Amino acid sequence: MTDYSDGEHLRPAPSQHMDEVDHRIVAHLRRDGRMPYKTLAKELGLTEATVRSRVRRLEEGDSLRVVAVTDYEAVGYTMMLAVGIQVEGRPADVVAEDLAKFDEVFSVCQVVGTLDIETLAVTRDQEHLSDLLARLAKVPGVRKLEPSIALDVLKNQSNWVPFGHGV
């Protein structure tokens, strides 16, 4: 059974954005995003109207989105890779913004460590892989790419993500 809950450590203290009840609603929607309001209300011992208005408030406040996540293989991508990037002569955050514009690059994070940026990307085949790496290498400020290919993904749940970038 896949665990779609958040680690306990990621439960932010009740805030103006989300209280305990909101977190319980989110936990149910993580497991089944299309769970009917009626079922949700029953599970949580709340009225349907309460659940509806809470979900709407969370969505309108940009705290929650219920989305359809697609498996990359089901849409024609066969390879996933992690590409670490060393930056030179240009601020890393600016380079990261440029990398975020690539459709194949689905995750970009500026980091501290031996590299400056970590990205995750998908490609259709080896030719596309080679082409993508060539295009990434040409982004101004990119000194060196450190790519590695995922042989097998055992787990992939990203529950907390930045909203923005047109997604």
Partner 1 sequence: MAKKQLDEQDRNILDGLAKDARISNRKIAADLGITEGTVRSRIKRMESEGQVRITAMTNIARLRNPTLAYIWVEVERSAQCDDVAQKLAEVPEIGFVGKMLGRFDILAITLVQDNAELARFLHSKITGLAGVRRTECSLGVNFVKHDYRMSRIVES
Residues 112-141 that bind partner 1 (CB under 8 A): 112-115, 118, 122
- The least CB distance from residue 90 to partner 1, in Å, is 15
Q: Are 56 and 103 in contact (CB under 8 A)?
A: no
Which one of 60, 127, 138, 154 is in contact with partner 1 (CB under 8 A)?
A: 154
Q: Which is nearer to partner 1, 7 or 45 (CB)?
A: 7
Which one of 21, 66, 133, 139 is in contact with partner 1 (CB under 8 A)?
A: 66
In terms of Cα–Cα distance, which of 77, 70, 66, 78 is closest to 35? 66
Say how many C-beta atoms besides its own lie within 10 A of residue 26's C-beta: 19
In degrees, to the nearest 5, what angle opens at C-alpha 154 toward C-alphas 2 and 1?
15
Kindly compute the dihedral angle of the four CA atoms of residues 39, 40, 42, 43, in this order, to the nearest 10 degrees. 110
In terms of Cα–Cα distance, which of 80, 78, 62, 71 is closest to 121? 80
Which one of 60, 89, 127, 155 is in contact with partner 1 (CB under 8 A)?
A: 155
Which one of 51, 54, 87, 105 is in contact with partner 1 (CB under 8 A)?
A: 105
Place of tokens 């509806």: 52
The SS3 of residue 162 is coil
Which one of 19, 20, 73, 125 is in contact with partner 1 (CB under 8 A)?
A: 73
Cα gap 92→142, rounded to integer Å: 9
- The least CB distance from residue 165 to partner 1, in Å, is 5
What residues from 4 to 63 belong to the interface with partner 1 (CB under 8 A)? 4-5, 7-10, 12-13, 15, 17-18, 26, 29-34, 55, 59, 62-63
Of 43-51, 96-104, 126-134, 136-144, which part binds partner 1 (CB under 8 A)?
96-104
In terms of Cα–Cα distance, which of 127, 125, 134, 124 is closest to 83? 134
Which one of 24, 106, 131, 139 is in contact with partner 1 (CB under 8 A)?
A: 106
Of 3-11, 42-50, 127-135, 136-144, which part binds partner 1 (CB under 8 A)?
3-11
